[in-house]
Amino acid sequence: TDPIKLVDSSLPWRQREIQFDRLFPARVGLLVVVIDGTLPGQADRAADRLLEAMRARADLFANVRRPDGGDFFRRNGLLFLSVEELAQMSDQLAAAQPFLGALVTDPTLRGLLGMIRLAAEGVVRGETDAGTLDRPFRAIGATIESTVQGKSEPLDWASLWTGRTSPPEQRRRVIIAQPSLDFERVSAGAAAPETVRNMAVSLGVSPRAGVTGRQAGSVALNDEEFSSVTDGAVLATGLPLGLVILILSSALQSLQIVVAILVTLAAGLVATAAFAIATFGTLNMVSIAFGVLFIGLAVDFAIQFAVRYRDERYRQGDFARALQVATALIAAPLVLAVVTTAAGFLVFAPVRYPG
């Protein structure tokens, strides 16, 4: 179930891709978790919790990282701003320093109220312009009011002093993981996306909490693709089989012959799959579509034999004799049809696309 195995690895472009993957293994087989929050802080907390939970599953994830977070960005994040942006932010932080200092000393509700008291005293003494406190105090008041009313309206600390609404990219966090893949299963990486979804639910990563999560990357896409192929194969095989049974029942009007044809189809499908495995060593996702083709083609041979048998049964009047005559008359045409049909499929065997 490794899609890349559908292509011959000796092709020049595949050789270059294999070499590239060998040099940069961290980009191979990735599961990308994208977290969007109503506020940057919400996205940060959700991403940190989910990152911790994924790292605890070393049996499932070989490598988990946050390209947009970690100690490096905590220490050096401001250096990625332009000089003008950094100067503006420095001025804003300097103006808010007394209040931020109070919160750092006591990051609780008591500390917040103490900060408000300190700011009010600054206005009374003429040390602080009351206009500069209007916006942050209104935001804090709105959050407190919503909490009293039993609602959830979190405070956007990032824009409290700047007055700028955080753009979507600042409210988005990304987690990149390399799951362990089991290509013996139909969907090699299905366990990883399912585990992440369960983790997100248990950690409260949901729109109700102001956070949404999505999954992307080759692992999630392949899992979705294989799920579509598998589900589609069940429908695409079951529906034609049902129609075939309906047509056979109507045309032959014999339950015994219909059952014999269905048993022959099942035996032929098993034998053909066994031949494919013995000859090519493995089946792949393209093989799933073969079931539909097999039913459509093989039932034609069964119908031809059954129609010939019914005709001879009418002519001969004896069951055994009718079978012998029908077999003698239909054998050569059916063998020729089988050989040409097999040649049509086997012509793909020497090409460079094993699919």
User: Residue range 75-90: average pLDDT?
Assistant: 86
Higher pLDDT residue, 274 or 119?
Answer: 274
Between 331 and 5, residue with greater pLDDT: 331
Output the average pLDDT for the chain: 83
Chain centre to alpha carbon of residue 278? 32
Cβ burial, residue 134 (10 Å; 0-12/13-18/19+) = exposed
pLDDT for the residue numbered 85: 85
Residue 255 clears pLDDT 80, i.e. is over it: yes
Question: Does 265 or 236 have the greater pLDDT score?
Answer: 265
Question: Which pLDDT band, with edges at 50, 70 and 90, does 33 fall under?
Answer: very high
Mean pLDDT lowest for which of 105-114, 287-296, 308-317?
Answer: 287-296
Q: In terms of pLDDT, which residue wins out, 201 or 131?
A: 201
Say what the pLDDT of residue 253 is.
81
Residue with tokens 């911790």, as numbered in its chain: 52
In the chain, % of residues over pLDDT 70: 95
Helices within the chain (DSSP H only):
12-23, 40-55, 71-76, 83-105, 109-124, 130-148, 191-202, 217-252, 255-280, 290-316, 319-346
pTM of the complete model: 0.66
- What's the start-to-end Cα distance of the chain, in Å? 11
Bridge partner residues of 61 (DSSP): 179
What confidence tier does 23 reach under pLDDT thresholds 50, 70, 90? very high
Residue 296: is its pLDDT beyond 70? yes
pLDDT tens column, 177-213: 998 887 777 677 778 888 899 999 888 888 877 888 9
Residue 334 tokens read as: 């059916």
Q: How far apart are CA 7 and CA 139, in angstroms?
A: 58
What pLDDT score does 263 carry?
92
pLDDT class for 161, splitting at 50, 70, 90? Answer: low
